[in-house]
């Protein structure tokens, strides 16, 4: 997540307290010029949502926050509960998706979606959001 990333244009997330919400914004690496998409989604179940950052050219995810989703089974046999952060990496000729419990991360399953989006933007080192 190290490289500073910027939203391509000014972004305002007008997230309602209740109901379905979906927004996708373009992001670019400041030095690499790698193009990303940041996607925010909450369905009809208000306490379940996800936020992810993926590469634009191939739609491979880089990082994804899941709140009140399904449990995740990692390749090493560990199981993570319904609130976790996926980190994706290329390993042994395939993309490995490893999920981490939120205990030592800045996210909390009690966060409303708007607070989680703010934390995700900071964690992923993305700048350029309007306040």
pLDDT per residue over 25-84, tens digit each? 999 998 898 999 999 999 988 789 999 999 999 999 999 999 999 999 999 999 999 999
pLDDT-derived band at 3 (thresholds 50, 70, 90) equals: confident
Which pLDDT score is estimated for 106?
A: 96
Give yes or no for a contact between 116 and 49, defined as CB atoms under 8 angstroms apart: yes
Composition of the chain by helix, strand, coil, percent to 5 = 10, 45, 40
- The total of other beta-carbon atoms located within 10 Å of residue 77's CB is 6
Structure tokens at 120: 């995700």
Which pLDDT score is estimated for 91?
A: 76
Which pLDDT score is estimated for 45?
A: 81
SS3 122: helix
- Find all residues with CB under 8 Å of 115, minimum gap 6, and list them: none
As a whole number of angstroms, the distance between CA 131 and CA 129 comes to: 6
Give yes or no for a contact between 37 and 9, defined as CB atoms under 8 angstroms apart: no
Calculate mean pLDDT across residues 3-27: 90
Average pLDDT along the chain = 91
The domain locations on the chain are 5-13+20-129
Which one has a higher pLDDT value, 90 or 115?
115
Which pLDDT score is estimated for 129?
A: 66
Residue 131 has pLDDT above 60, yes or no: no
Q: To which residue do tokens 């319904």 refer? A: 82
As a whole number of angstroms, the distance between CA 38 and CA 31 comes to: 18
């Amino acid at each position: 997540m190290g490289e500073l990333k910027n939203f391509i244009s000014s972004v305002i997330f007008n997230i309602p307290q209740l109901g379905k919400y979906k927004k996708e914004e373009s992001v670019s690496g400041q030095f690499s010029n790698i193009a990303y998409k940041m996607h925010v989604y909450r369905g009809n179940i208000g306490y379940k949502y996800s936020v992810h950052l993926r590469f634009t050219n191939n739609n491979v995810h880089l990082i994804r926050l899941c709140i009140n989703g399904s449990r995740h089974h990692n390749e090493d046999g560990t199981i993570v509960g319904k609130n976790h952060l996926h980190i994706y990496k290329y390993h042994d000729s395939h993309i490995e998706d490893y999920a981490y419990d939120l205990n030592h991360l800045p996210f909390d399953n009690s966060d409303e979606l708007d607070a989680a989006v703010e934390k995700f933007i900071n964690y992923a080192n993305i700048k350029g959001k309007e306040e």
